Amino acid sequence: MITINDCSEAKVKEIADKKAIKVDLEDELVETQARHAEVLRELEELAAYNVELHKSCDFVLKNFEVRQTARDQDEIKHKDFCTDELNTNVLQTEKKESEKADLIAKTKDLEMRIKDYVFLDLGMDLRKPCGKENLYENYDKK
């Protein structure tokens, strides 16, 4: 038979068990609330970062066309500069090549004229056949 004492002890034990469960649940609630507060703080930081990113992206998108146009214009200017410099270089090279050819021709002409003067100075003409009579003729003329 169950006595009142047995029933009371069972009730006291049940109450104690429920109080222990309540304490555990309250501890878990405090931890959960702390974690909830931490998550809210992280969410606020992420929201602030999101706003910064949107501002940055909006700026880039807003100014993309302006920057792209400026970049294209710079590339066109650079291409034009390179083309002008290349054309100038080609013209200068052609001019120098022509000058070089003229100088080579003039050098050959001067070398031939110098040979003529050297042999004329010695009394010899290379265009005439060389023989003993020529040497004596030239020797007598001196």
Question: Could you tell me if 135 and 116 are in contact, meaning their C-beta atoms sit under 8 angstroms apart?
Answer: no
pLDDT single digits (tens) 11-23: 888 999 999 999 9
Task: Specify the pTM.
Answer: 0.39
Tell me the one-letter amino acid at 130: C
| Predicted local distance difference test score (pLDDT) of residue 47 | 94
Tens-digit pLDDT profile for the chain (142 aa)? 667 777 788 888 899 999 999 999 999 999 999 999 999 999 999 999 999 999 988 888 888 888 888 888 999 999 999 899 999 999 999 999 999 999 999 998 888 887 776 666 555 555 555 555 554 455 445 4
Give the residue extent of every domain in the chain. Answer: 4-141
Counting other chains too, the contacts that 34-38 makes at CB distance below 8 Å and 24 or more residues apart are none
List, for residues 2-13, the tens digit of each pLDDT value: 677 777 888 888
Per-residue pLDDT, 120: 60
Burial group, residue 138, by CB count within 10 angstroms (0-12, 13-18, 19+): middle
Evaluated on CA atoms 48, 51, 55, 56, the torsion sign reads positive
The pLDDT value given to residue 63: 85
In Å, the largest CA–CA distance within the chain is 175
At residue 125, the pLDDT reads 55
